[in-house]
Structure 1
Amino acid sequence: MFAISSLLVSILFLQLQSSLPTQAAPLARESPNYEPFQIPLPIPPIKKPSTTYTDPKSGIPIDFYEIEVKPFEKNLFPGLGKASLLGYDGMFPGPTFQVEKGRETVIRVVNSGERNVSMHLHGSFTWDGWAVDVTPPGYYKDYYHPNNAARTLWFHDHTDGITARNVYTGLAGLYTITDTALETRLGLPVSSPYDVPLILTSHFFNTEGGFAEKADEKNSIFGDTFMVNGAVAPFMEVEPRRYRFRVLNAAVSRSFTLGLVDGEAEVPMSVIGSDGGLRESPVETNKLVASMAERWEIIIDFTPFASKSLTLTQTNTFADDSYSASPTTPLLQFRVGNKVSSQTGNGPLAARLLPSSSLSVTTKPVRERKFELTSHMDSMWQINGRSFADPNNRVLMSPPLGAVEKFTFSSTGMMGRGSWTHAMHLHLVEMVIISRNSSDGKGRSIVEPYEAGAIKDVVTLGDGETIEVLARFIPWTGIYMFHCHNLVHEDNGMMGAFNVTALPDFGYDEATTALEDPMDEKFRAKKYEGTDLERVSTEVLPAFRALGAY
């Protein structure tokens, strides 16, 4: 009996293993072909507040925004029909929030769609995005954000079980917090047209021009057609001067290795910022790996390239699968003019941007933890053998507030099989990378120079890699999630929670601050019957400020 059972298990394992993707050869392209550089790069509009309340005691302003989740149609693929999308304010990507450091915000999300949603401001020191805190169709929820650190964030859906589907069909946008005085003093571009978002996504298209249906995918949605700001391989007209680009990888499962070329010659980029804001110093690089949910701020100097065209490219390296017949795919063409209309933010790049961070690889951790990222024959993804699908087994650790801990993440795949890329994201928490090593030679065994010392909230493990990081648990107590930002993996279990200790029983009875409980009934979604801005100004915003949460 045992021999028969063992034989059946072996057969099933071999069958499943043979069905999993490998890196032996590029897979056939599923989407129609296209001619690149036919569409100008769209720039998402800036979202404007509806009203503002200023706290009379502190003088801190709170801006109120309302954003609507709604279905819409738009032509995305050149020469084909419209795609059915779900977007914030009916656009893809959503509008950009541009907030000055120190101005608080309340964002009212109104769900006019047909599925549950749950918005997460990724990279913010807030408690939002708890996956089962959903806003049903016809409801709204108010989200309160402190905006107390300048950095590039993004907002996206985080609904349990359907995050990949919601983000894939459009629920993502950029959110920037700017320290205008500091960045102007550093000589950086701080506004349009020289401070530009580049939101990268990857999709499969059908022959009609819509997104190919991938709702039942259990492994990854890599995509074979790349988009920038919602356009397939667009072009951008630039002046021969310095530009600041805020690069966001908003793809569901695809990692990008970016390069800039003049013909066949590589053109360097200067990395000035990461997930956690500006670096201490710029780092020059010819290649930039941007995995799922990572943000990088870069400076490109077009001064030497007047009247020429440069190309931003994607190269498949350690990413899980290649759907491209060519090893390099064009993403965006820069058409450089011959006239500069403004010298603002066009001076030499400062050698030093910020003082040294209090979190560095020399910080001594108070504890070490190891996390194995695995997949199983039922296509469930797990962290240390546990899945978010089990509500009684979600909390994997309870670090004390203010603690610095060492984490080791390793990708062991299915029954010891590797070859998956994971982008591990911790809500609330800042991280620095100590080391990265490859067990099978397929991945990297280095910390990239632009990663070294950078403050991160996402760290990437390529094929067969192990990564060590330091994580600092500040500034709030409460329950937060951590997960793989391959959203298919997240939806299928590769997500857990950590309890920054003040709630040891996970029952929320011992909450000591206003926003520890992600399921607090006071802040749950409510039926939407319109918005009274007078009431928002006189009741809603003062009530949030009175919490003393930030």
Structure 2
Amino acid sequence: MKRRSLLSLTVLAVVAGCSSSSEQPRNRDFTQRLRIPPILEPTIDIDGAKRFALELRSGRSAFVPGRETDTWGINGAYLGPVVRATRGDRVRMSVTNRLPETTTLHWHGMRLPARMDGGPHQMIPPGTTWTPEWTIEQPAATSWFHPHLHGRTAMHVYRGLAGLFLIDDPDGSALPHEYGVDDVPLIVQDKVIGDDGELTTGGVDNGTFGLLGDTILINGTRDPFFEVRTELVRFRLLNASNARVYRIGFADGRTFRVTGADAGPLDRPVTVDRVKISPGERVEFVARFSPGETVVLDSRGEPEKSANDIEEDDFPLLRIVATAGLKPSPAVPASLGGPGPDTAPPGARIRRFSLSGSEINDRDMDMTRIDEVVPAGAVEIWEIDNTTYAHNFHIHEVAFRILEINGVAPPPYQAGPKDTVFLPKKAKARLLVRFGTHVDPVTPYMYHCHILRHEDKGMMGQFVVVEPGTEHLVPRTVPAGHHHD
């Protein structure tokens, strides 16, 4: 595998039939201080609900100093603020669309009623405001929000519509928690940015995987560095790229401790030197630093290419500079409070899904069709068979455990609660899926590939959650005009 320098390591990139916009990565100078997205302060409504106001708007951003480009953002020119709430909170969102076209805003990883989910049925036309509300009823987690308009998700996310939604739990374990100091978000995205500073959108809707960029942004920052002031730092890593898959670690090979997966904490820390993360996935980890040192966080390809469709490029991501005097940090707890090993109940229903180029079970997405009906609170096994090039699989409103990938248990850091799983070419996965209790026989949730070009092309299905015993009574179509604007 080609090495550009000791600090230039590699990224996984899915390439079969990829767009011509996929280019070799550029060297990094790490000259820009890492932007830390601001936390959005809520107002408190008369009933005690926390109201968060989000405005989707167009703007101008300078990814190259002194040269601006058109972007979209939420409460700003690019990306969004961090929404932060605590388990038990009642939250009420006011989402106003100031963009020139209809969009949606989906709460990825959130356990909530289907009408509040922000999927393709909850459209927000220009000039209107959508006000979903729900009670936070899940463990501490790093979740996020992004558009989910059918056929336009890839472009809307690529232009900059995304943000973190952090859930705190008063009964959770004591991990670093001073936001922006020892609790640091890392939103990783790849872009194509011209020498003139313009954000290139050509290729987003083309090719097998859409656009694969040659420039990596972290929190919207190009060539970022971050100054560490504490011995331990907790990083919240989100892959918000349209298609790229990363294998992230440190250039010097140091180990770090994974503490959380997509849907919540692990039961105990897992020591690793790399984590693989596909679009939509999140990983929380804690790393240790020494006074005065400098280290690069990077993405590196697999040591050997296997029989899947992966091109390995070099992607340094973030330079971390430790100050001369680091503040001592408490040790990472031995127990994190997450669920331990899980098994399927006797007689658990098995559902099978075959992934092809852009179809699930030989069918493209149909907004009017209900594909699956699930009883509330069910625990099921979902078997995902990827018959073609790389995909991943995301299920709305659930937490699942990866039982197997190609007949083998997942690495321990992926054994925690998840909502998205990566499937390389020809891979098979078995998932233990726990469904929620919000019932609605006419408003569906989604399951789909989170490679956004695939999702837009139709690689998505719909399911409803209903009262147990009523499954056979549910129509398999969505009522005409059943949208919640």
> What range is the shorter-chain TM-score in?
0.7 to 0.9
**Matched letter for residue 130 of structure 1:** G
Instruction: Give CA deviations for 1:463-503 in whole Å, capped at 9, x if unaligned.
Output: 22111111111121232111110011000000000122357
- CA-to-aligned-CA distance 1:251-276 (integer Å, 9 cap, x gap): 111111001133xxx11110001111
Q: Structure 1 or 2: larger helix share?
A: 1
- Alignment map for 1:265-304 (pairs within 5 Å): 266-302=253-289
Query: Does residue 97 in structure 1 map to residue 90 in structure 2?
Result: no
Q: In the alignment, what sits opposite 1:10?
A: none
Are 1:115 and 2:101 matched, yes or no?
Answer: yes
Please point out which of 216, 221, 225 is paired with 1:226: 216
1:7 is aligned to none
Which of 17, 30, 53 in structure 2 is aligned with 1:37? 30
1:154-193 C-alpha deviation (Å, 9 max, x unpaired): 010111110000000000000101124533xx35435442
Match of 1:255 among 245, 255, 270: 245
Compute the displacement of 1:336 (Å). Answer: 0.9
Q: Is the partner of 2:453 in helix, strand or coil? A: helix
- Per-residue CA deviation, residues 67-125 of structure 1 (Å, 9 max, x unaligned), is 11110011113x57212111111232210011122111111111111111100011111
Question: Quick check: 1:412 aligned with 2:397?
Answer: no
Corresponding residue to 1:170 among 130, 149, 160: 160
Bigger mean CA deviation after superposition, 111-120 or 126-135: 126-135
Judging changes above 3 Å, is the alpha-carbon distance between structure 1 residues 139 and 31 closer, same or farther for their aligned structure 2 residues? farther
1:516-531 pair list within 5 angstroms: 519=482, 524-525=484-485
1:51 to partner: Cα distance: 3.5
Please tell me whether residue 195 in structure 1 is matched to residue 170 in structure 2. no
Deviation at 1:360, TM superposition (A): 1.2
1:472 aligned partner: 434
- 1:80/1:207 contact within 8 Å kept: no
**1:2-401 correspondence to structure 2 within 5 Å:** 21-22=15-16, 30=23, 33=26, 35-54=28-47, 61-77=48-64, 79=65, 81-126=67-112, 127=114, 128-149=117-138, 150-180=140-170, 182-183=172-173, 186-189=174-177, 191-213=179-201, 214-220=203-209, 221-262=211-252, 266-302=253-289, 305-317=290-302, 320-322=309-311, 324=313, 328-341=314-327, 343=328, 346-354=329-337, 356-357=339-340, 360-364=342-346, 366-375=348-357, 381-388=358-365, 390-392=366-368, 394-401=369-376
> C-alpha displacement at 1:242, in angstroms?
0.7
State which structure, 1 or 2, has the greater radius of gyration over its C-alpha atoms: 1
2:406 is aligned with 1:437: yes
User: How far apart, CA to CA, are the structure 2 residues paired with 1:427 and 1:365?
Assistant: 24
Q: 1:91 to 1:505 in 2, by over 3 A?
A: same
Secondary structure, counterpart of 1:167 in structure 2: helix
Q: Following the alignment from structure 1 to structure 2, what is the Cα–Cα distance between the partners of residues 433 and 171?
A: 29
**Partner Cα separation in structure 2 for residue 151 and residue 278 of structure 1:** 7
Kindly indicate whether the alpha-carbon contact (under 8 Å) linking 2:393 and 2:448 is maintained by their aligned counterparts in 1: yes
For structure 2, which runs of at least 5 residues remain unmatched after alignment?
1-13, 468-472
Shift of the 116–298 alpha-carbon distance from structure 1 to 2, 3 Å rule, reads: same
In the alignment, the residues of structure 2 paired with residue 501 and residue 247 of structure 1 have an alpha-carbon distance, to the nearest angstrom, of 34
Q: Which has the higher contact order (CA 8 A, sep 6+)?
A: 2
Alpha-carbon distance in structure 2 between the residues aligned to 1:432 and 1:353: 17
User: TM-score, with normalisation over the residues of structure 2?
Assistant: 0.87
Find the counterpart in structure 2 of residue 11 from structure 1. Answer: none
Q: Which residue identity does 2:191 align to in structure 1?
A: H
RMSD of aligned alpha carbons = 2.6
Note the C-alpha offset of 1:399: 1.8
Q: Secondary structure at the match of 2:154?
A: helix
2:458 paired residue among 493, 505, 516: 493
Q: Distance in 2 between matches of 1:391 and 1:301?
A: 48
Task: Report the residue type matching 2:223 in the other structure.
Answer: A
Note the C-alpha offset of 1:362.
4.9
Q: CA deviation at 1:28?
A: 8.9
Aligned length: 454
Q: What letter corresponds to residue 368 of structure 1 in structure 2?
A: I
Alpha-carbon displacement from aligned partner over 1:399-426 (angstroms, at most 9, x marks no partner) = 211211111112112xxxxxx2222111
Task: Return the alpha-carbon distance in structure 1 between the equivalents of residues 76 and 481 of structure 2.
Answer: 27
Q: Which runs of 5+ in 1 are unaligned?
A: 1-19, 55-60, 376-380, 414-419, 439-444, 510-516, 526-550
Kindly provide the amino acid, as one letter, of the partner of residue 374 in structure 1: S
**Percent of pairs identical after alignment?**
29
Separation (CA, whole Å) in 1 of partners of 2:338 and 2:364: 40
Match of 1:505 among 465, 470, 475: 475
Distance 1:177 1:144 in 2: 15
User: Aligned letter for 1:194?
Assistant: D
Contact 1:365 1:404 in 2 (8 A): no
> Does the residue aligned with 2:157 lie in a helix, a strand or coil?
helix
CA contact (8 A) 2:264 2:338 kept: no
Deviation of the 1:361 alpha carbon: 3.3
Q: Tell me the secondary structure at the aligned position of residue 450 of structure 1.
A: helix
Pairing 1:452-471 to 2, within 5 Å after superposition? 452=415, 454-471=416-433
